[in-house]
Structure 1
Amino acid sequence: MATIQSAAEITPLLDRIKGQKIAALQVLGINSLKSLSPSPEALAGEVVTATDIVERIISINTASHIISFDLQRTGRVVLLEAAEPYRLAVGAVRPTVRLVMNDGSGLDLTEPAKTKRITVTIAARPK
């Protein structure tokens, strides 16, 4: 069984995306997206203003939205130096969530089990 990532291990990965523009947020786990409006597509072009992790819940803030990822027990964050939108390929391991940044980097949120438990919630910031 894989070791669980601590907040101290995840924080430097989140720090890498601060100040960057989001190119795409892909929620690939069939039951992972817990909000329908705004959609993940609404995040394209938004700049990440802040990130935080409390226990196993990651928050990514932009001027207009708050994105929350609950890693549950076994979710992991993987830094991608070269990321592009996920495309189904034979033998490829599918992440539950992929966040692609405009500079070509990104983050995958992955889980070792077949049952996908990472959840994603997108909320508009109050005006």
Structure 2
Amino acid sequence: MPELPEVEGLVRFLSGRTAGRTVAAVNVGAIGALKTFDPPVDALVGTRVVGASRHGKWIDLTTTGPHLLVHLSRAGWLRWSDSLPTTPVRPGRSPLALRVRLDDGSGFDLTEQGTRKRLAVHVVAEPTDVEQVATLGVDPLSEEFTTEHLAGLATAKNQQIKGLLRDQRSIAGIGNAYSDEILHAARMSPFALSARLDRAELERLHGIIRDVLTAAVAEADGKPAAQLKDAKRRGMQVHGRTGQSCPVCGDVVREVSFADSSLQYCATCQTGGKPLADRRMSRLLR
């Protein structure tokens, strides 16, 4: 799933290529991806693109008319073309969910692979018209995200720290991959309870959140959309590296699997050398 750094990279890439251009056509390829009907998607046609911005993991294409808000979910992606195909878009089983053509023939396709379709497209007057955007928590790269803010979130609800990092209503933009990376860098168990973290641990975690995300955004900045996925994979220390060696200590990277996801961690770096039990089979080893 694209997370804050990749979405930020897409937004910067998109803004640089669309700002000032006029939307010439919008074609829906997957009816299920379009979550709104008023204003209609055709209301974008003829508007001028002001730019693109990010709300957590949401892409916001801002025009002189409505906003086009997109959540790529797990298997969605944005594919840019300097010259889009002119063949008609026909709804069907194609990965194509939406095509946006600009007045110079360039534009982008929103695509989604797999059978579980979760990509979401909203055409709205304001971004906060979408509940998931209106209820987003603090952006971890904003000035509002201080150690004190993190401490308040940690003590408000005693939960596993990985769950807190992934909770979009608490902290917007971090998902499964970067929560693994942050906790590995912080040498912290993914199942440590947030309310039990002391001030020193919270300060270290806050700094690492900023450092990991800032470095990932810098790596994504300026890269074409087609290169962002590979750049993300290359930067991972533990996420997606089950069975490989931890680049910090050399121990094997381990995995805990859930019904529809998994996490990766290093026992030596994060849990005092104790492997965590697979949550499908038993409770966490303590």
Query: How far off its partner does 1:8 sit?
Result: 4.2
Distance 1:51-1:103 versus aligned 2 partners, 3 A rule: same
**1:75 shift after superposition:** 1.2
* 1:69-115 Cα shifts (integer Å, max 9, x gaps): 111122111111111455258xx954111111111001111112133
Q: Write out the 4+ residue segments of structure 1 that deviate beyond 6 Å after TM superposition.
A: none
> Which stretch of the first structure deviates more once superposed, 101-110 or 45-54?
45-54
**1:66: how far off?**
1.2
- What is the aligned partner in structure 1 of residue 34 from structure 2? 33
- Match of 2:22? 21
Superposed, 1:1-127 pairs within 5 Å as 4=2, 6-15=6-15, 16-84=17-85, 87=88, 93-124=94-125
Rounded Cα–Cα distance in structure 2 between residues aligned with 1:66 and 1:88:
22
Alignment TM-score, normalising by the size of structure 1: 0.81
Q: Give 5+ residue unaligned stretches, structure 2.
A: 127-286
- The amino acid of 1:10's aligned partner reads L
Residues 24 and 85 in structure 1, CA contact (< 8 A), matched pair in contact too? no
Which one scores higher on RCO, CA 8 angstroms, separation ≥ 6?
1
Deviation at 1:120, TM superposition (A): 1.0
The size of the alignment, in residue pairs, is 121
Q: Separation in 2 of the partners of 1:27 and 1:88?
A: 7
Q: Distance in 2 between matches of 1:19 and 1:60?
A: 12
Supply the distance in 1 between the matched residues of 2:19 and 2:36 (Cα, whole angstroms). 23
TM value normalised by structure 2: 0.38
| Structure 1 pair 85–54 and aligned structure 2 pair: CA distance change class (3 A) | farther
| Greater fraction helix | 2
Q: The residue matched to 1:96 in structure 2 has which SS?
A: strand
| Percent of matched pairs sharing the same residue | 26
SS where residue 19 of structure 2 aligns? coil
**Residues 79-88 or 47-56, more deviating:** 79-88
Structure with bigger strand share is: 1
What do you get for the CA RMSD once the two structures are aligned?
2.3
The 1:30/1:55 distance shift into structure 2, 3 A limit, reads same
1:32/1:120 contact within 8 Å kept: yes
For residue 14 of structure 2, give the secondary structure of its aligned residue in structure 1.
Answer: helix
Distance (Å, rounded) in 2 between the aligned partners of 1:45 and 1:66: 13
- Matches of 1:49 and 1:113 in 2, distance apart? 33
Does the 8 Å CA contact 1:80/1:105 hold for their aligned counterparts? Answer: yes
Give the deviation of 1:11 after TM superposition.
2.6
State the 1:24 CA deviation. 1.3
Deviation readout 1:39-74 (Å, 9 max, x if unpaired):
111111100112112342110111221110111122
Secondary structure of 2:88's partner? Answer: coil
Amino acid at match of 1:51: A
Letter in 1 for 2:9: E
Q: Hey, what's the Cα distance between the residues in 2 that align with 1:93 and 1:30?
A: 12
